[in-house]
Each structure stands twice: as C-alpha cells, then as structure tokens.
Amino acid sequence: MQPKTVHPESISAQALGWIDEATRAITPPIHVSSTYLRDADNQYRTGRVYARADNPAFDQAEAVLCQLEHGAQALLFASGMAAATAVFQALAPGDHVLAPKVMYWSLRNWLMTFATHWGLQVELIDMTDPATVKAALRPGRTKLVWIETPANPLWTVTDIAATAQIAHDAGAFLAVDSTVATPVLTQPLALGADIVMHAATKYLNGHSDLIAGALVTRSDNEHWQRVRKVRAQLGGTLGSFEAWLLLRGMRTLHLRVRAACTSAQRIAEHFAAHAGVAEVLYPGLPHAPGHAVARAQMQGGVGGMLSIRVRGGEAAAIAVAANTQLWKRATSLGGVESLIEHRASVEGAGTPAPADLLRLSVGIEHAGDLIDDLEQALGTAHR
Ligand SMILES: Cc1ncc(COP(=O)(O)O)c(C=O)c1O
C-alpha cells in the first residue's frame, strides 16, 4: 500500500519504489543493449528502437527527477554541458537569448563562441536585477532567458518567480541551471520556470565518479520535442552504467545536500569575521545581496557552495589552497568530499572571479574538521 503523503526524501531514497518485475529485485538491472527487436510486422510497439535516442536505463532516474522537480518530462544527457547546450541548440539561428554575466564559465564560453557563430544573439546581463532583465528583453525576438541561481562563482541569487513573469510577459521562456540549489532546496518549475537543468555530475550523483546532465520540463511542447531530437541526433546520450550510478547517487540526495548546507552555513559564519579573509560570499549570510530572495525561494538552506576572498591577493589565495589537507584542491562541486579551487586560474580572461577568490564546495565531512583545516591553511599562508 502506498503511504498517503510521500515526501521527496522517500521518493529519492526508494527511487520511487520501483522493483524489477522479472526478478523482484529492488535495485534495477542495468540495460546495456544498444538496439531493440523489431516486431515481425515491421512495427516497434515498445517504442524503443536504438539506444542513442532512448534507453530503459534512463526511465527510473528520469521519473524520479520529474517527481522531485514537479515536471512533466525529464531527459538525461551525457553531461551537464550536453543538457544545457541542447536547450540552446533547439532554438533557431537569429533568436535572441539573455544569459547572466555571472554563470558557469564553460557554458558562458560556449554561448559567446559556438552559439553566436551558429547565429544565436546572446546578451549577457545582470540577472539579479529584474528591471535590467525587463529592459533587455526584446518582445517577439527574445526566445529564452537563461539563469543560474545561486550562480558560480560569486553565488549571486536570481528571483525565479519574478524573472519567469517578466520573461513570459515578453513571450520568452525561462530555463534555470539549478545545479547548486538541487531539487532539495528549490523547485524552479513550481516558481514559474519552464525548464530546469542540472549538471547531474554534481549533487544529484554526489560522489565525483560520474559525468551526467539532466533537463526537466514543465510541459511537453515544440521546443521540448526539439530538445529531445538534439539528444537523439547529436548523441549527447548518457551511458547505461552512468544512469544506474546516478539513480544510486540520488537515493541519498537529501541527506547529502542538507549536511552540506548546514556545514556551509557554519563555515561561512565562522570565516565572515576572520582576519585572513576579506569577504565571504554566501547567500546564507544576512548581509549578502541575495539573502532575502534566497531565503524566500529556497527551503532548508541556501546550498553547499561558498567563496572566500583571501587577504593578500592572488598569491595568498593560491597559498591557502596549497596548504589545505582535508579540502582537496580540485575543480567541480557537489561531491561528498570538500573541494577548494582558485577560480580565476580556471576561468581565465573575462572571469567575474576576483584574483583573491577561492571557491569552496562543502562536502559531508565534520564541519569542525573543515574549519580547522582552513584555519591552519590561512594561518600558514599569512605567516
Ligand atoms: C552550475 C554548473 N552548470 C553546468 C555545469 C556543466 O556540467 P558538466 O561538467 O557535467 O558538463 C557545471 C560544471 O561544473 C556547473 O557547475
């Protein structure tokens, strides 16, 4: 019997409670077939033809994501970039799109090179100010507004409901990179967004052992059908084992995200007044510009990502990262292990990251250990 109220934690822990009917296994088998048998009368009644377009290995993870995000349909992709770029590739040359100045750098680079060469009119604006968004929209020409909240690497916050309303009034749709928020903290579709994107590589999987992406749509429509074709025809399709790993990772999503949020808040508060730190960027701090919006649209925390600006500039920041032991010096985010990164070195020219900024991805280790390690690294760097 199904319990009356199934909370999101229960949906992800049991992956919707599906069992494999053939074996009664409570974890799904891994379907690896690249092709499917055609019926004798030349039909494909299962709807499955070829695994570049579709794969039963995706069904359960896509269904779980749909439920968590309150969406109509979901699609898994070979990476977060494959998922994000599919949303833009499903547009037509000449379409105008708005994207944030502060966003995941690799997607920003792709937008300003490949997407513009292909004919999209890309404009980068300050998405934290609804008036700026309104002024930049070109009714009839702007097809898509892309936002990321909280956004790499400054953790700026965009008001999803306000931006959705403004975009819709101008005839555009809104897509949200919700990688950092995760469905645990924010459900953008319920706030009016049309598409949610996740670098599933990060929190959804959570163990730094997989590259994957996902999109969830509020409704099945023409653009979504083109997105589906982009995946099937360009081939940014996830592997079967990766889909299985992702489903396993999502079973502990809520526990991991809550633990990371609690520790990130504690770490942010601890270093906010630290002599070696010029500034802590984290929307959970009351003085942060995005604090009020974050508190209103996120539930149970504002995420496991924060940045610190180290006193002494670039050399001091790099020295702090060099001196950490528990924090691992590596790119990426959202895994169970905490990572530290000098972001300007990664992003290069055009980065909004100041030279003294270290990006911190808080994992699920003991918060006190993480604080002690940063304390000793900051002490060493300033000796
Ligand atoms: C916010 C955000 N969006 C998208 C991506 C791209 O994801 P992937 O590396 O899986 O392609 C990343 C990767 O770091 C990210 O942090």
DSSP-assigned states of every residue in 198-263: E-TTTTTT-SS----EEEEESS--HHHHHHHHHHHHH--PPPHHHHHHHHHHHTTHHHHHHHHHHH
pLDDT reported for residue 383: 55
Tokens 């007044």 -> residue: 273
Q: Strands 305-310, 357-361: parallel, antiparallel or unpaired by DSSP?
A: antiparallel
The DSSP bridge partners found for residue 142 are: 96
Residue 373 near residue 325, CB atoms below 8 Å: yes
pLDDT reported for residue 349: 86
- Residue 202 Cα to ligand 1 midpoint, Å, equals 7
Residue 177 falls in the annotated catalytic set: yes
pTM greater than the 0.75 cutoff:
yes
Decide whether any atom of ligand 1 lies within 6 Å of the 159 Cβ. Answer: no
Residue 41 falls in the annotated catalytic set: no
Decide whether any atom of ligand 1 lies within 6 Å of the 211 Cβ. Answer: yes
> What is the rounded CA–CA span in Å between residue 157 and residue 155?
6
Query: DSSP class of residue 156?
Result: B
- Residue 180 Cα to ligand 1 midpoint, Å, equals 10
> What is the rounded CA–CA span in Å between residue 65 and residue 63?
5
Decide whether any atom of ligand 1 lies within 6 Å of the 206 Cβ. Answer: no
pLDDT reported for residue 105: 97
> What is the rounded CA–CA span in Å between residue 99 and residue 95?
13
303 three-state secondary structure: coil
> What is the rounded CA–CA span in Å between residue 225 and residue 227?
5
Decide whether any atom of ligand 1 lies within 6 Å of the 339 Cβ. Answer: no
- Residue 28 Cα to ligand 1 midpoint, Å, equals 27
Q: List the chain pLDDT tens, one digit each, 383 residues.
A: 455 668 999 999 999 999 999 999 999 999 999 999 999 999 999 999 999 998 999 999 999 999 999 999 999 999 999 999 999 999 999 999 999 999 999 999 999 999 999 999 999 999 999 999 999 999 999 999 999 999 999 999 999 999 999 999 999 999 999 999 999 999 999 999 999 999 999 999 999 999 999 999 999 999 999 999 999 999 999 999 999 999 999 999 999 999 999 999 999 999 999 999 999 999 999 999 999 999 999 999 999 999 999 999 999 999 999 999 999 999 999 999 999 999 999 998 889 999 999 999 999 999 999 999 999 999 977 65
Q: Across the beta sheet with 121-125, what order do the strands follow?
A: 73-77, 213-217, 195-198, 173-177, 142-148, 96-100, 121-125
Q: 278 Cβ partners below 8 Å, 6+ apart?
A: 309, 310, 311, 356
Q: Which of 48, 52, 229, 258 is catalytic?
A: 52
> What is the rounded CA–CA span in Å between residue 79 and residue 199?
7
Of 203, 367, 380, 352, give the one whose Cα is nearest residue 281: 352
pLDDT reported for residue 132: 98
- Residue 247 Cα to ligand 1 midpoint, Å, equals 18
Ligand 1 atom nearest to CA at 84: 4
Decide whether any atom of ligand 1 lies within 6 Å of the 77 Cβ. Answer: no
pLDDT reported for residue 4: 61
- Residue 325 Cα to ligand 1 midpoint, Å, equals 25
Ligand 1 atom nearest to CA at 148: 1
Q: How many Å is the maximal CA-CA distance in the chain?
A: 79
pLDDT reported for residue 368: 98
* Ligand 1 binding pocket mutation candidate from 76, 77, 104 (most atoms within 8 A of CB): 104
* Ligand 1 binding pocket mutation candidate from 76, 77, 79, 81 (most atoms within 8 A of CB): 81
- Residue 36 Cα to ligand 1 midpoint, Å, equals 32
Residue 141 falls in the annotated catalytic set: no
Decide whether any atom of ligand 1 lies within 6 Å of the 361 Cβ. Answer: no
93 prior amide bond cis, ω within 30: no
Decide whether any atom of ligand 1 lies within 6 Å of the 374 Cβ. Answer: no
pLDDT reported for residue 1: 47
CA atoms within 13 A on the CB side of 292: 2
CA 58 to chain centre: 18
Residue 44 falls in the annotated catalytic set: no
pLDDT reported for residue 350: 86
Residue 174 near residue 164, CB atoms below 8 Å: yes
How many CB atoms are closer than 10 A to CB 224? 20
Tell the residue nearest (CA) to atom 9 of ligand 1.
80
- Residue 2 Cα to ligand 1 midpoint, Å, equals 36
Ligand 1 atom nearest to CA at 201: 10
pLDDT above 70: percentage of residues in the chain: 98
Q: 198 Cβ partners below 8 Å, 6+ apart?
A: 65, 80, 83, 177, 178, 179, 182, 204, 213, 214, 215, 216
